[in-house]
Amino acid sequence: MNVEKYDVVAVGHGLVDIRFIVDRFVGPDEEASIIKQTRGVGGSAANVSIDVSRLGGRSAVIVKVGLDGFGRLVIDELMREKVDVSGVKVCLGDTGFTVVIIDRDGKIIMYGYKGSAEKLEPKDLDEGIISRGKYLHIASLRLDTSLEAAKLAKKHGLKTAWDPGRRLSLKGLSYFDELLKYIDIVLVNKKEAYHLTGISDYREAAKKILETGVWLVVIKRGPEGIYAVTSDGETYDLPAFPVDKVIDTTGAGDAFASGLLLGLSRGYNLKKALIYGNAVAALKTSRLGSHNVPSHEEVIKYIWEHGLS
């Protein structure tokens, strides 16, 4: 039987984002007004899986949530977004959440509680789902489960992207020696690149990461754009694409990852996939919500209108 492939299988955290838009950030013993409050699914793996689906791709997600109201919220929203949730695990305990505080300029402060998300163990991984993917995306996930997921991906011929996230990057590159043997694409921001390598120049940090044997390293530079280098010697330095107003930068890195991986899954060459991902991320920052990405048609229109093709 010919089973249709997923463009991307995302493994990592499924959380609830509780978002507050405030008129300004404050210090101790100060108060500011909350302009708006929303909540919805968050966590990098959940974000990427939803983003891929919204862009017209097929996605599945493997995360763990608690047997509580937040867990139900995560599963319900993933299902509404047409993400395959058959790999989601439920356990006794609290579903993780992130309190996201956003100021008028779109800058963010986050407080995270991982809860059940960090209880996703190697034995919880669904090999059947992973085997049906074209690309595996591992995001901000404990090392033992990340390693098992990457091994399963290699076994079934998937390309694997890895985004360590803020906390794990602090452990340094050598901590991930075994994992990196199975990784094809590394996605980090400038601060994470520094934490991994101890090198402040992001270009040199990218070269250091590339020495581990991966194919592609992308440094996400926020409003400065992206820097990408491959093991074949290709280098791309793309500026951030313009938007009328930045509303919320939460999940912009995940939006870029979803666009890049979906582009590659669709057969785009690397430069085209990088441009596509960059456009998805730019449009995401103009909208509230960690996975509020545009449709594929909106992305293509935006690229053509800005002469970015």
Tens digit of pLDDT per residue, the chain (309 long)?
557 799 999 999 999 999 999 999 988 999 989 998 989 999 999 999 999 999 999 999 999 999 999 999 999 999 999 999 999 999 999 999 999 998 888 788 999 999 999 999 999 999 999 999 999 999 999 999 999 999 999 999 999 999 999 999 999 999 999 999 999 999 999 999 999 999 999 999 999 999 999 999 999 998 899 999 999 999 999 998 888 888 888 889 999 999 999 999 999 999 999 999 999 999 999 988 888 899 999 999 999 988 766
- What is the rounded CA–CA span in Å between residue 123 and residue 149? 10
- What is the rounded CA–CA span in Å between residue 27 and residue 6? 45
With H, G, I as helix, E, B as strand and everything else as coil, classify residue 251: coil
Question: Going by DSSP bridges, is the β-strand pair 6-11/133-139 parallel, antiparallel, or unpaired?
Answer: parallel
| Beta carbons of 239 and 220 less than 8 angstroms apart | no
Cα three-residue angle 17-111-251, rounded to 5 degrees: 45
Structural fold of domain 6-13+44-95+122-163+241-305: UDP-N-acetylmuramoyl-L-alanine:D-glutamate ligase (3.40.1190)
pLDDT value for 244 = 87
pTM above 0.75, yes or no: yes
- What is the rounded CA–CA span in Å between residue 117 and residue 46? 11
pLDDT value for 309 = 62
Q: Could you tell me which of 157, 153, 117 has the C-alpha nearest to residue 136? A: 153
pLDDT value for 300 = 95
Tokens read off for 134: 């074209």
pLDDT value for 306 = 82
Count how many residues are written for the chain: 309
- What is the rounded CA–CA span in Å between residue 159 and residue 265? 10
Q: How would you class 2 by CB atoms within 10 Å of its CB: exposed for 0-12, middle for 13-18, buried for 19 or more? A: exposed
Give the number of other Cβ atoms within 10 Å of residue 86's Cβ.
11
